[in-house]
């Protein structure tokens, strides 16, 4: 959730030190001396603090070695640059999947180029598409992901089909949970659908360790509450 005071990540009151301490930025991984720290160990450098959501997503996914796309997505959602709702999620979904996929397959050198293309494609998916065009940007993000790892084009056969199947599957999963929109819920559902699709169609089993318990409900006026599978009450019952 967005924290306007205290730690940008968790909202805890910051601790002011007598002597600077060496700390590492949560997003870029750069180490520097700081006299103000979070008691939970979170630190966001000034450079990352001032990045746009898309820049932050691209930078973090290029750097991270994590192969769990849900963990990558959740870490990015902790940043105040990533709002409760917004078109940045249309890039966040394929970016988290691309980072996890290429880390898992041992090809991290592929990430920078693929992420740049994913960003360009995702920027064409405007905010509000879920309500005005009958297709959620998070679901389209999974189609972008599959198209990039398969090299799909409008003229290819199998690759074209797989990319469209991926988007269709994500859309069905998202639609079954009903509206109104929630960019966090839809992103988690889309990523989970993509993980299953990769396992079934490509034989690639990404190591998803993350169990999602939503912490954004308090700032989402349209939250489905107990009807959402990620609501704390629903998670406890499952």
Task: Quick: pLDDT tens for 61-89.
Answer: 999 999 999 999 999 998 888 988 999 99
Q: Which two tokens stand for residue 43?
A: 């630190």
What pLDDT does residue 175 have? 95
What is the C-alpha separation between 122 and 116, in angstroms, rounded?
Answer: 10
With contact defined as beta carbons under 8 Å apart, do 212 and 71 qualify? no
Peptide bond into 180 cis (omega under 30): yes
Determine the straight-line distance between the first and last CA of the chain, rounded to whole angstroms: 24
Beta strands in the chain (DSSP E): 15-24, 31-37
What is the C-alpha separation between 106 and 20, in angstroms, rounded?
Answer: 37
For the chain, how many residues are written? 238
pTM of the model: 0.86
Map tokens 């993350």 to a residue.
Answer: 210
The region of weakest confidence among 4-8, 25-29, 133-137, 159-163 is: 4-8
- The CA–CA distances, whole Å, from 131 to 45, 127, 182, 202 equal 36, 9, 11, 32
Question: pLDDT above 90 covers what percent of the chain?
Answer: 65
Q: Is the pLDDT of residue 29 over 90?
A: no
Give the model confidence (pLDDT) of 107-149 as tens digits.
999 999 999 999 999 999 998 888 899 999 999 999 999 999 9
How is the chain split into domains, by residue range? 1-50, 52-237
Q: Is the pLDDT of residue 3 over 70?
A: no
Q: Which of 18, 2, 10 is nearest to 39 (CA)?
A: 10
């Amino acid at each position: 959730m967005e924290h306007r005071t205290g730690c940008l990540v968790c909202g805890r009151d910051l601790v002011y030190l007598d002597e600077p301490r060496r700390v590492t930025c949560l997003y870029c991984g750069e180490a520097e001396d700081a006299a103000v720290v979070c008691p939970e160990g979170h630190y966001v450098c000034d450079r990352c603090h001032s990045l746009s959501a898309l820049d932050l997503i691209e930078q973090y996914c290029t750097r991270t070695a994590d192969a769990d796309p849900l963990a990558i997505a959740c870490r990015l959602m902790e940043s105040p640059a990533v709002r409760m709702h917004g078109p940045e999620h249309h890039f966040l979904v394929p970016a988290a999947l691309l980072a996890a996929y290429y880390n898992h397959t041992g090809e991290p050198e592929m990430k920078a180029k693929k992420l740049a293309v994913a960003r360009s494609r995702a920027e064409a998916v405007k905010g509000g598409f879920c309500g005005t065009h009958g297709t959620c940007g998070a679901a389209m993000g999974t189609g972008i992901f599959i198209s990039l790892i398969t090299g799909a084009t409008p003229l290819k056969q199998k690759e074209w089909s797989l990319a469209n199947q991926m988007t269709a599957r994500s859309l069905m999963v998202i639609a079954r949970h009903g509206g109104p929109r929630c960019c966090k819920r839809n992103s988690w559902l889309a990523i989970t659908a993509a993980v299953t699709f990769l396992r079934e169609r490509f034989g690639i089993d990404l190591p998803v360790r993350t169990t999602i318990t939503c912490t954004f409900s308090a700032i989402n006026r349209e939250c489905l509450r107990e009807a959402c599978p990620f609501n704390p009450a629903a998670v406890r019952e499952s």
